[in-house]
Amino acid sequence: MSAVQTLINEVSQKIHALEIAQALYSRQLSPDFNTFDYINTDELGLSRILAFLLDPQGNHAQQETFLKLFIEHCLPDMYEVSERQIFLNNIEKTEVFLEEVTGKSNSLRRMDIYLRCIVGNDSYGICIENKPYAVDQPNQLIDYYNELIAKGHTDPQIVYLSEYNDTPNPASVDTETLKCWIDKKQYSHLRFSDLTGWLKACQVECQNHSVSEFLTQLIKFIQKQFMGIEDMSESNAVLDIIKRNGATIDASIKVSNTINRMKKELITKLKIDLLAKCKTTDYKLDINDFGEGKNYEQINFIIPSYDAGYICFEFQGENFDRPCLGIKLWSIEEAKNNLHTEKMKTTLNTALADKKIWSSPLWPAGYYFYPQDWKGSSEAWLMINEDTMADKILEEMDIVFNTLKANDCFTKY
Confidence of residue 147 (pLDDT cuts 50, 70, 90): very high
The highest-confidence range among 75-79, 187-191, 249-253, 295-299, by mean pLDDT, is 187-191
Q: What does the pLDDT look like over 306-357, one tens digit per residue? A: 888 999 999 987 888 889 999 999 887 787 788 888 899 999 999 998 888 8
| φ and ψ at residue 129, rounded to 5 degrees | -90, 110
pLDDT of residue 18: 47
- Pick from 104, 105, 72: which is nearest to 88 by CA? 72
pLDDT tens digit sequence for 223-253: 888 876 665 555 666 667 667 777 766 666 6
pLDDT of residue 203: 94
Whether the link from the prior residue into 31 is cis, omega within 30° of 0, is no
CB 300 within 8 A of CB 312: yes
Asked if residue 382 has pLDDT above 90, the reply is yes
* 28 has pLDDT over 80: no
The SS3 assignment for 371 reads coil
- H or E element at residue 369: none
The yes-or-no verdict on residue 395 having pLDDT over 80 is yes
Kindly give, in sequence order, each residue whose CB lies less than 8 Å from that of residue 129, ignoring residues fewer than 6 positions away. 111, 112, 140, 141, 144, 158, 159, 160, 161, 168
How far apart CA 322 and CA 282 sit, in angstroms, is: 27
Whether the pLDDT of residue 1 is over 60: the answer is: no
Whether residue 17 is predicted with pLDDT greater than 60 in this model: the reply is: no
pLDDT band with cut points at 50, 70 and 90 for residue 23: low
What does the alpha-carbon distance between residue 228 and residue 77 come to, in Å, rounded to a whole number?
29
pLDDT exceeds 60 at position 19: no
Of the candidates 91, 99, 102, the residue with the CA atom closest to the CA atom of residue 57: 91
pLDDT tens for each residue of 58-114: 999 999 999 999 999 999 988 888 878 889 999 999 999 999 998 888 888 899 999
Which residue pairs from 175-180 have beta carbons closer than 8 angstroms and sit at least 24 positions apart in sequence? 177/142, 178/141
Q: Of 119-128, 328-337, 394-403, give the lowest mean pLDDT range.
A: 328-337
pTM (predicted TM-score) = 0.65
The reported pLDDT for the residue numbered 223 is 84
Which H helix or E strand runs over 130? strand 122-130
Compute the mean pLDDT over every residue in the chain, rounded to the nearest whole number.
86
Bridging pattern class, strands 110-119 and 95-101: antiparallel
Q: How many CB atoms lie within 10 A of CB 102?
A: 20
Where along the chain do its domains lie? 38-193, 258-406
In the structure, what pLDDT confidence band is assigned to residue 165 with cuts at 50, 70 and 90?
confident
Q: What pLDDT score does 111 carry?
A: 94
Q: How confident is residue 30, by pLDDT bands cut at 50, 70 and 90?
A: low
Amino acid at 141: L
Average pLDDT over residues 200-212: 93
**Backbone φ and ψ of 316, nearest 5°:** -90, -5
pLDDT tens-place string over residues 245-294: 777 666 666 666 777 888 999 999 999 999 999 987 788 999 998 988 88
DSSP 8-state secondary structure symbol assigned to residue 244? S
Is there a contact between 250 and 3 (Cβ–Cβ < 8 Å)?
yes
Which uninterrupted H or E stretch holds 111? strand 110-119
37 pLDDT above the threshold of 90: no
DSSP 295-336: TT-EEEEE-TT--SEEEEEEEEETTTEEEEEEEEES-HHHHH
Do the Cβ atoms of 64 and 105 come closer than 8 Å?
no
Name the nearest CA neighbour of 311 among 293, 329, 335. 329
